[in-house]
Amino acid sequence: MHSFGYRLNGLLTFAVTILALMCAITSLSDNFNTPSPSAEIKIININWFQKQPQGHDEVSLMMNVSADLQSLFTWNTKQVFIFVAAEYGTPKNSLNQVSLWDAIIPAKENAKFWIHTSNKYRFVDQGNNLRGKKFNLTMHWHVMPKTGKMFADKIVLTGYSLPEEYR
């Protein structure tokens, strides 16, 4: 500690080390949060349901997505990324997950919402398996922190099905 530069270096190094420790403890504090999210998805309408030129089935739907994800937010949350995926099985693939819609929720106030939308991303099958297909819609979320560990979870909503014939 014999010179100005030596003391400055020591102070800055120690300060940054303690900062790293503070960030670690902050991330650990997220584990004390017990979230209680809820979500509901209604399929309002099937816009069209066709077999594409390449031979794959494709469907376009109109959904009403409503959710209350406010309990996911902590003081260490930067944003929450959510997406809705359709899940079903086929003879070729035991599990298909097709992402239909996603959004970024930047703050707790925006986390209680409803949205009336058609699917943002195309619902295409690897084959022709969608006629009369029963599927689940899952709401996934990724809680992205300001510092530390990201938490991800989902809600599975069952009981959806597609029409028997193309429209």
Q: Which residues bind another protein (CB under 8 A)?
A: 1-2, 4, 7-8, 10-11, 14-15, 18-19, 21-22, 25-26, 29, 75-76, 146-147
Beta carbons within 8 Å of 82's beta carbon, 6+ residues apart: 67, 69, 102, 103, 104, 105, 139, 140, 141, 142
Within 8 A by CB and 6+ apart from 38, the residues are 67, 68, 155
The structure tokens listed for 4 are: 């100005």
Is residue 61 within 8 A of residue 123, CB to CB? The reply is yes
The amino acid present at 148, given as its one-letter code, is G
User: What is the smallest separation between the CB atom of 28 and another protein, expressed in angstroms?
Assistant: 11
CB of 22 to another protein, least distance (A): 6
Task: Give me the least distance between CB of 70 and another protein, in Å please.
Answer: 13
Residue 158 beta carbon to another protein: minimum distance, rounded to whole angstroms: 36
Of residues 48 and 75, the one with the C-beta less far from another protein? 75
> Which of residues 99 and 147 has its CB atom nearest to another protein in the complex?
147
Q: Report the Cα 105 to chain-centroid distance in Å.
A: 10
Q: How far is the CB of 48 from another protein (least distance, A)?
A: 46
Complex with another protein: residue 77 or 119, whichever CB lies closer: 77
Residue 24 carries which side chain, given as an amino acid letter?
A
Nearer to another protein, 18 or 150 (CB): 18
Instruction: Please name which of 164, 143, 167 lies closest in space to residue 153, comparing C-alpha atoms.
Output: 143
Measured from the CB atom, the residue of 7 and 134 that comes closer to another protein is 7
Tokens 């359709």 label which residue?
86
